[in-house]
Structure 1
Amino acid sequence: MNPLRPTSTNPLPAVVLACRGAPGADLNLVRSLGRAGVPVIVVGEYPFPPSGYSRHCIEFICARDFTLQPERLLKVLRELRMRHGQALPVFASADPDLRALVALHADLVGTALWVSSSPDMIARLQDQRRFAELARQHELPVPALHAPRTLEEVEALGRVLAYPVVVKPSQAGSWHRPGIDPALARRCAVRIDDADALMRLCCQLAPQGLEHLVIQDHVPGDVDEQWTVHACIARGGSPVLVATTRTLRTWPADFGAASHLETVSMPDLEAEAGAMLRRLRLRGMVSMNFRRDPRTGRMWLLEINPRASGASLLLARAGMNLPARVYDEVCGRAAMPPAVHWRTGLRYRHGLADLHAFLVRRREGREGWLRYLFSLLHPRTVFRAFDPSDMGPPVQMSTDWLLRKLRGSGRWVWSRLGQGAA
């Protein structure tokens, strides 16, 4: 038997990409695959990502800034192909590394095993302006979206819009540019309550180009009116695994990534999402973000992400290991049946971000200490970093945080000494 071929005792390694800004997503992917007995090679665009310290990671390779220079990633994947004698499955953990894979799509044939939708479909889903057109074509329930090209168009829109509205980047990460406030760049969207505020924000973003923003109708309600449907779509085009999570808190507050969420049962929403996915003919792992209008009960589709979500480990613990299902398909392994009982009520928490989110909500009078403390004591919680069976990542993250603090303290001391000497 060829020792390089995957077997039950010698599974083929999977490659997980780790880009800047999403350490929880790649760590969740590594741990999800590890739960299924799949060894993982982490390829990071920066040194020392937490996922590289997981016990499930058998090798870490640094391909610096591969999201900006995808040819560096291609070189690594080709070297892995030569070393293992066959193409390895590759998993994107966030939008930047997914865009890198799309850029390399033609070169990946025979080099890597990547299950996803077509490059054009991915590009349409990742660009809010193109996604709005896709939604119109397929009659998806997406809130009305406006894409002004000049400040004059913004001014005209400002006179007729029904406020509040939200301003959001046209693509994830498109506000991470010099000249844009980093606090603004971290947000998924910004709520705007009047025309003057809209013009001020657009004037701030105009030097970078108004093509990097869109204006969308605001769906009211707190963050707990948001649900995400996660699906794995096989070659036939039908979802084979579908699960739902509900958002409880986000960071940044209201318009950020989920810092606290739980697994729920939403069969009607899952059926509606499945019908949309079949119309779009997507493949691989997909997550769909919905928000319910509390005035009408209508579910609005906010976005579709054609990749694994940051909640992949929570889903695996609850009985729906989507990365493992994709791995089984691309490697030709017999897929393990999903758990008979989908475990609802499991929670996922990004501890520090969730604390920041709570403190904002407390200042605004939307949540008290008692509710927060009870959420801390929830017995079925999956933590972003802490895992007693996989302590490498939390130890590395704690050490890295401590070193940053010490370096910062050292710079402060030397600056004070310099002032004294002067």
Structure 2
Amino acid sequence: MARNAVSVPFAADRDVPALIVKFGDYPLHHGGVGAIRSLGRLGVPVYAITEDPYTPAAASRYLRRAFVWPTSGTEEAGHLVEGLLRIGRRIGRPTVLVPTDEEAAVLIAEHQDDLADAFLFPRVDPGLPRRLASKQGLHELCAEHGVPSPSAAFPQSHGDVEAFARTARFPVVAKNREAFVRRRRPAVNGTTRITTREGLLALARDWGEEPGVILQEYLPREEAEDWIVHACFGADATPLAMFTGVKVRSWPPHAGMTASAYVVENPELADLAARFVKQIGFSGIVDLDLRFDRRDGQYKLLDFNPRMGAQFRLFESDAGVDVVRAMHLDLTGRAVPEGEQRTGHRFVVENIDLPALLAYRRSGYTTPHAPARASGTELAWLAGDDPMPFLTMVARCVRPGAKHLYQLWRTGRRGAATGSGGG
């Protein structure tokens, strides 16, 4: 048995490698490390695109090779496609693509025919991932298919913002309309809660005549719960693996990346996600964020990420299947074993959960559906069989990481005047 094999009741195709594709510039990405470990432990050869040779992903013992290719996600599509094809030629055999950000997922979908000879990936409507990654596109799809989502406005001019401010019920939430804008010049820093008409107009002065924002109904955290769905769907949009969980903490607080979450069984939520994906005809891996609004008893879809989520390793069935393994099995013609999710299992992102924990304790916020005690814990970075990504993360965090957390804290403090941090 190979050094990196694990005992599971199925066999992955070790002749078909995988390539972790990330175009955004954020070296401390635990999701990529999780995907490398997940497939590598099955004996699948795993390659990854990395910003430099010293990222945590590049340090994993389960990585066959890192292709150092600094990108931002804003490059011309032709340049990125050619770069992927060049990597495919170097690997030398058909390879499963595992996108970890929207830029990668959208590029793969929109250039399927160019990439099909070198790579394996789920085939979808070429325009669907871009529409799902867009706040406006997702809102329109939800309305079209009867899926609850927060009410929203999409101002096309500064005058539209002023008109909205005259009639809106505050607080409201402002978000960047398109996912890709975060790599360029975002109108707002993440999810921004705005408490007053004056605060909105002051913030809007920097948006120009064509605001790239969505102004959305605020769902108060005191009356809401944050839920997540991770799933993999086959070619006919049938779920191959489906998991539900509740987010306990995020960083920045209440609006950022998952810092801690639990697996919680939620058949209603799983059914909602499966029906929506079937209606839109998506196949592949999805990461959904929903907020349960206790005021009306509805799960409202906030984000539909048409790719692997960074916290996907929270979810694994008792058959040893997670969404990345499910996709690799499916694309290589193997059956995906059925199994139950590990209810009560916990996921913790070590480098952001401590500040998140302190912030949540100060706010007094708790998640009612979080188990009192975890049945097990999956750490994002630290793994006994693969310690180097954790050590590399720590080394990169010592100075720049502290500065980054400080900047995030300052962003939250600056937003207090307009209410940054909710959503």
Residue 219 of structure 2 aligns with which residue? 219
| Aligned-partner Cα distance in 1 for 2:219–2:403 | 44
Contact 2:32-2:57 within 8 A present in 1 as well:
yes
SS state at 1:262 partner: strand
1:396 aligned to 2:392?
yes
Local SS of the residue matching 1:259: strand
Q: What's the CA shift for 1:223? A: 9.3
State the match for 1:11 in structure 2. Answer: 15
Matched with 1:20 is 25
Offset of residue 380 of structure 1: 1.7
Tell which deviates more after alignment, 65-74 or 121-130: 65-74
Q: CA deviation at 1:199?
A: 1.2
3-state SS of paired residue (2:181):
coil
The structural deviation recorded for 1:320 is 3.7
Question: Is the 1:224–1:246 contact (alpha carbons within 8 Å) kept by the matching residues of 2?
Answer: no
CA distance in structure 1 between the partners assigned to 2:251 and 2:401 by the alignment: 22
Letter in 2 for 1:112: F
Aligned partners of 2:266, 2:119: CA distance in 1, in Å? 35
Helix, strand or coil for the counterpart of 2:64? strand
Give the Cα–Cα distance (whole angstroms) in 2 for the partners of residues 119 and 103 of structure 1.
5
CA distance in 2, matches of 1:246, 1:107: 38
Q: Which residue of the partner structure matches residue 199 of structure 2? A: 197
Specify the alignment match of 1:39 in structure 2: 45
Tell me the equivalent position of 2:172: 165
In 1: Cα distance, 2:388 partner to 2:149 partner: 42
Distance (whole Å) between structure 2 residues aligned to residue 26 and residue 109 of structure 1:
23
Q: What 5-or-longer segments of structure 2 have no aligned partner?
A: 1-10, 405-423
Give the secondary-structure state (helix, strand or coil) at the position aligned to 2:39.
helix
What is the distance in 2 between the residues matched to 1:404 and 1:221? 31
Further displaced range: 218-227 or 287-296: 218-227
1:309 is aligned with what amino acid?
G
Partner of 1:412: none
Contact 2:223 2:295 in 1 (8 A): no
Matches within 5 A, 1:137-176: 137-176=144-183
Amino acid at match of 1:56: Y
1:205 Cα offset (Å): 3.1
CA contact (8 A) 1:20 1:46 kept: no
Aligned partner of 2:314 in structure 1 is: 314
CA positional deviation for 1:221? 2.6
The answer to whether the Cα contact below 8 Å between 1:224 and 1:247 also exists between their aligned partners in 2 is no
Higher helix proportion: 1
Q: How does 1:29-178 map to 2 (within 5 A)?
A: 29-65=35-71, 67-69=73-75, 70-102=77-109, 104-177=111-184
Task: Supply the distance in 2 between the matched residues of 1:179 and 1:126 (Cα, whole angstroms).
Answer: 15
Q: Which residue of 2 aligns with 1:327?
A: 328
User: What amino acid sits opposite 2:331 in the alignment?
Assistant: V
8 Å contact from structure 2 (residues 263, 345) kept in 1: yes
TM-score when normalising by structure 2: 0.83
Q: What are the Cα deviations for residues 9-55 of structure 1, in whole angstroms up to 9, with x where unaligned?
A: 84321000233236122112212222333221011244432111111
Structure 2 SS opposite 1:225: strand
Tell me if structure 2 keeps the 8 A contact 1:288–1:301: yes
Structure 1 residue 233 corresponds to structure 2 residue 233: yes
Q: Distance in 1 between matches of 2:398 and 2:97?
A: 33
Q: Which letter maps to 2:120?
A: L
CA distance in 1, matches of 2:267, 2:55: 37
CA distance in 1, matches of 2:374, 2:330: 35
Does the residue aligned with 1:342 lie in a helix, a strand or coil? coil
Aligned equivalents of 2:239 and 2:31: distance in 1?
22
What is residue 385 of structure 1 aligned with on the other side? 381
Q: 1:294 to 1:145 in 2, by over 3 A?
A: same
Q: Percent sequence identity over matched residues? A: 25
Contact 1:224 1:249 in 2 (8 A): no
- Provide the C-alpha distance between the structure 2 equivalents of 1:222 and 1:117, rounded to a whole number of angstroms: 38
Between structure 1 and structure 2, the one with the greater Rg is 1
2-structure distance, mates of 1:338, 1:127: 32
Q: Distance in 2 between matches of 1:380 and 1:281?
A: 35
Q: How many angstroms does 1:404 deviate by?
A: 5.0
Count matched residues: 387
CA distance in 2, matches of 1:117, 1:52: 30
TM-score (norm 1): 0.83
CA contact (8 A) 2:344 2:374 kept: no
* Deviation by residue 1:80-139 (Cα, 9 ceiling, x = unmatched): 443454321111111232234345434212122122532211111111122222222222
Aligned to 2:282: 282
Q: Which moved more, 1:191-200 or 1:166-175?
A: 166-175
CA change 1:352–1:44 in 2 (3 A) is: closer
Distance 1:224 1:356 in 2: 22
Q: Distance in 1 between matches of 2:177 and 2:160?
A: 17
Go from structure 1 to structure 2 and tell me whether the alpha carbon gap of 1:122 and 1:200 turns closer, same or farther (over 3 Å shift): same
Q: 2: CA distance between counterparts of 1:135 and 1:317?
A: 29
Instruction: Give the SS at the match of 2:327.
Output: helix
Alpha-carbon distance in structure 1 between the residues aligned to 2:345 and 2:204: 40
Which structure has more relative contact order (CA 8 Å, sep 6+)? It is 2
RMSD across aligned C-alpha pairs, in angstroms?
A: 2.9
What is the CA-CA distance between 1:266 and the residue it aligns to? 0.4
